[in-house]
Structure formats: C-alpha cells, structure tokens
C-alpha cells in the first residue's frame, strides 16, 4: 500500500509531489506527455497585470511561498531554474505613463512599480514613450525543471511514463486500486487533460491555447523581459521567446500559421532588427471560468482529489496550493472557498 497516486507531472503535479515527499509519503506518479502547458510556458513570475496595471490575485502571498519553493528545488535537483529578470513595460503613449504613476501610488502596487521611467537607448527596440520597470519579477525554466524532476522521480522508481487509464481504477472503502498498486488516495493534476477524467470533467475548466515563437536576433541585445502586446523573453545566446497568444476555441497542442502571423505582427511593432524564427510551440493553459484554481475532494469519492486550474499563472500559484490540499485531505482542514471545487457544487444546488 502506498500513500498516494499522482496523475500528471506538470507544475501542479511537481508541487504536490514535493508536499507529499516533505511529509514522508510513498508515491507513484503517472505522466504521459499528453499536455504541454508547463513544458512550453514562458515561466514568468510577475505580481502585476500589465495590461491594466492591477495586482495579481494574492501576489504577495504567492511570491512569499513560490520563491523559496523554487530555491529549494534548485538545491534538491542540483540545477538552476530561477532567473531574476526585470520586466519592462513599454508605454504606448503619455497617458499610459500617467496610469503607471497613478497605479504606483496604490498600496498593493507601490512596491512593485518603479516610478523611475527607463529611457530606451536600444535602437532595435521601438519604445519612444519609455519603459516602466516591474520589481520582484523573474522566470522559471519550466522545461528544465520538468526534465530534472522526472529524472529525480525515475531514479527513485516513483515514475510511470504512461497514460493513466481511468476505467482501470477501482475505488474500495479503504483504498483505491490501479493495476497492482493500492493507494490511500489519488490526486489528479492533469491540466487540460482533466477533460478525459470521468470523475472531474464536470468542473468548468475551459482551457486557453497559447503559442510562443523562439527567435534568434543577434543585434537585439536585451537582458530584461520586454512587455508590450506580447512578451519578449531573453533565453541566452541571442535567442528570445515571443508570446503568447490566447485562443479559446482550438484545443490542440499544434502550432498554427495564424498564431505565428499574429505574433510576428505584434513583434514588428516592438522591435526593428533582423531575426529568424527557429521554433514554434503550443500548449493549453488550464484556465477556469472564474480564474481561480480547482482544488478539493470529489463530492462522492473522498479518496479522489484534484489540483488544477492554474490558468495563466502556474509558476506563482502552483507552490501555494498543495499544502492547503494536503491538510484538507489528511486533517480535514477547510480549504478557502475561492479555490475549493465545492464552489461549483454550491452553484448548482
């Protein structure tokens, strides 16, 4: 008998495995590469919504937990995954500069918005109205993290590189059974893959497809994240990622010409140097209608739980919810209403 089966090893799965390991639990993890969101993510953490200059939900609390979480993973996996990088918001007009100053007076934003405007001196960047610097930002190399974490679990013989087949799960009074595994609990962290999960597909997770381009631009030479209608994120060796798109109808992980055109058009308004597109990736963000995570226990099967709905901000949210779910599962501690999946049962009642 093991303690827990975990299905899915994206950011949510990793964060929950970390919680289980910290509690000394025995686990088996299933991962089949069917979803790509964590693999392709830009990996940014940024406490401010830069379209409207408003704070991200629970930003202070999330950063407080997330940064030590990734630091501990760096130590454990012996690899560097967190890079502190400033995010620079390009202003499209004087009015936007004024909005920035107004926002920087607000209590929840003052520590994040630098009031010293940055004058752009890079000829490859088109930013005549200067840039605003966001503080306490950075990027997690999510692809590198996923690879290292898989290797870590593999070495402990905890990982099954295969699809979890829901029809083969049986639920008994004291445990769940899957193939030759008996476990006290099972926690589903499948991202958009939840749509195939007969126990939790009722939850209102819509999914939003996102695409990113990798470009090589030898004369661009920026060492910060540049944000306009798209993000431009330096990857080293003159490579940058450009993204992302938002598509609410296409639910495939296939890169499209339409998204490429959209990104190229937006990029043309931001930089004016030569570049070459070297890669193009896509994934589906597990977005929920109310933009809050989906955490909790199945209404009829208390051995089944879910950790999903990280949406567009998995990097900051993923580390913060597993402890709450763990305490809920082990000690019946209350979950905050805004993340508890019960909010959707109550809505139906």
Ligand X SMILES: Cc1cc2nc3c(=O)[nH]c(=O)nc-3n(C[C@H](O)[C@H](O)[C@H](O)COP(=O)(O)OP(=O)(O)OC[C@H]3O[C@@H](n4cnc5c(N)ncnc54)[C@H](O)[C@@H]3O)c2cc1C
Contacting ligand X within 65-84 (CB under 6 A): none
Residues touching ligand X, count (CB under 6 A): 42
Whole-angstrom distance, CA of residue 283 vs CA of residue 37? 5
User: Do 224 and 90 touch, CB atoms closer than 8 A?
Assistant: no
CB of 345 to ligand X, least distance (A): 21
Contacting ligand X within 230-249 (CB under 6 A): 243-244
Whole-angstrom distance, CA of residue 200 vs CA of residue 299? 10
Among residues 285, 304, 326, 340, the one that binds ligand X under rule CB under 6 A? 285
Among residues 23, 26, 33, 102, the one that binds ligand X under rule CB under 6 A? 33
CB of 140 to ligand X, least distance (A): 8
Nearer to ligand X, 8 or 234 (CB): 8
Q: Where are the alpha helices (DSSP H) in 44-141?
A: 59-77, 94-104
Judged by CB under 6 A, does residue 35 bind ligand X?
yes
Q: Where are the alpha helices (DSSP H) in the chain?
A: 11-22, 37-40, 59-77, 94-104, 142-155, 257-268, 314-317, 322-331, 342-348
Nearer to ligand X, 130 or 341 (CB): 341
CB of 231 to ligand X, least distance (A): 7
Whole-angstrom distance, CA of residue 14 vs CA of residue 60? 22
Judged by CB under 6 A, does residue 30 bind ligand X?
yes
Whole-angstrom distance, CA of residue 244 vs CA of residue 211? 5
Judged by CB under 6 A, does residue 109 bind ligand X?
no
Nearer to ligand X, 130 or 247 (CB): 247
Among residues 312, 320, 324, 340, the one that binds ligand X under rule CB under 6 A? 312
Contacting ligand X within 111-170 (CB under 6 A): 163-164
Whole-angstrom distance, CA of residue 164 vs CA of residue 171? 15
CB of 116 to ligand X, least distance (A): 25
Nearer to ligand X, 11 or 73 (CB): 11
Judged by CB under 6 A, does residue 182 bind ligand X?
no
Judged by CB under 6 A, does residue 319 bind ligand X?
no
Q: What does the DSSP assignment read for 114-178?
A: -SS-B----TTB--TT-EEEESS-EEE-HHHHHHHHHHHHHHTT-EE-S---GGGEEE-SS-EEE
Contacting ligand X within 183-202 (CB under 6 A): 189-193
Which structure tokens are listed for 233?
């994120």
Q: What residues make contact with ligand X under the rule CB under 6 A?
A: 7-13, 30-35, 37-38, 40-44, 163-164, 189-193, 210, 212, 243-244, 283, 285-286, 308, 310-316
């Amino acid at each position: 008998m093991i303690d827990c089966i975990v299905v899915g090893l994206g950011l949510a799965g990793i964060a929950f495995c970390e919680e289980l390991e910290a509690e000394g639990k025995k686990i088996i993890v299933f991962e089949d590469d069917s979803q790509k969101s964590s693999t392709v993510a830009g990996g940014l953490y940024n406490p401010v919504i830069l379209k409207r200059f408003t704070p991200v939900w629970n930003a202070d609390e999330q950063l407080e937990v997330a940064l030590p979480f990734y630091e501990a993973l760096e130590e454990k996996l012996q690899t560097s995954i967190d890079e502190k990088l400033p995010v620079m918001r390009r202003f499209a007009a004087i009015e936007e500069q004024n909005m920035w100053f107004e926002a920087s007076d607000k209590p929840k934003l003052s520590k994040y918005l630098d009031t010293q405007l940055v004058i752009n001196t890079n000829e490859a960047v088109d930013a005549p109205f200067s840039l605003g610097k966001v503080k306490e930002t950075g990027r997690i190399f999510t692809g590198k993290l996923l690879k290292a974490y898989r290797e870590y679990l593999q070495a402990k013989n905890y990982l099954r590189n295969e699809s979890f087949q829901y029809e083969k799960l049986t639920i008994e009074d004291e445990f769940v059974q899957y193939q030759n595994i008996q476990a006290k609990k099972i926690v589903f962290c499948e991202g958009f893959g939840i749509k195939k999960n007969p126990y939790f597909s009722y939850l209102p997770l819509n999914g939003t497809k996102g695409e990113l381009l990798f470009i090589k631009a030898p004369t661009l030479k920026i060492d910060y994240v540049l944000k306009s209608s798209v993000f431009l994120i330096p990857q080293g060796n003159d490579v940058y990622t450009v993204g992302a798109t938002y598509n609410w109808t296409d639910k495939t992980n296939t890169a499209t010409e339409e998204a490429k055109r959209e990104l190229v058009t937006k990029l043309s308004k931001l930089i004016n140097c030569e570049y070459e597109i070297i890669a193009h990736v896509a994934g589906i963000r597990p977005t929920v209608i109310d933009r809050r995570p989906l955490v909790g226990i199945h209404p009829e099967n208390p051995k089944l739980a879910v950790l999903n709905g990280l949406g567009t901000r998995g990097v900051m949210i993923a580390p913060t919810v597993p402890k709450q779910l763990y305490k809920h599962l082990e000690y019946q501690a209350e979950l905050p209403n805004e993340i508890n999946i019960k909010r959707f049962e109550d809505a139906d009642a």
